[in-house]
């Protein structure tokens, strides 16, 4: 079985509290959702909708932050500079 098939096996490709990857994860505060494209566009809307679903299913809080420019390189640099204890996610 391929790794990605095993990861999603049994949960319908939806994030859920039984998800093998998510089990045991418990952010101590909001998860910073870093978005590489401008506010109000399609990618921003998608990122926010996915964050809403994750908030509902996992109980986590997401805080969007836009880090635009240089085709995503600014976002990559910002992710690299996050402290090791930070809960951050990138949306390119």
| Domains of the chain and CATH, by start | 28-91 (3.40.190.150)
Residues 6+ apart with CB under 8 A from 17: 23, 57, 58
Q: Which two tokens stand for residue 74?
A: 């600014």
Q: H-type helices in 1-92, by residue range?
A: 3-8, 42-58, 73-80
> pLDDT for 35-87, tens place per residue?
999 999 998 999 999 999 988 988 889 999 999 999 999 999 999 998 877 78
**In the chain, % of residues over pLDDT 70:** 74
Q: Residue 5: what pLDDT?
A: 39
CA separation for the pair 33, 3 (Å, rounded):
25
pTM of the predicted model over 0.85: no
Neighbours of 80 (CB within 10 A): 7
pLDDT for 91 equals: 82
Handedness of CA 58, 32, 80, 14 (dihedral sign): positive
- Chain centroid to CA 77: how far? 17
């Amino acid at each position: 079985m391929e790794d990605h098939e095993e990861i999603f096996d049994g949960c319908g490709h939806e994030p859920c509290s039984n998800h093998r990857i998510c089990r045991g994860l418990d952010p101590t505060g909001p998860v910073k959702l870093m978005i590489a494209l401008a506010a109000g566009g399609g990618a921003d809307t998608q990122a926010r909708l996915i964050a809403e679903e994750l908030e509902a299913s996992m109980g986590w809080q997401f805080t969007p932050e836009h880090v635009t420019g240089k085709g995503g390189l600014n976002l990559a640099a910002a992710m690299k500079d996050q402290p090791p204890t930070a809960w951050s996610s990138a949306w390119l």
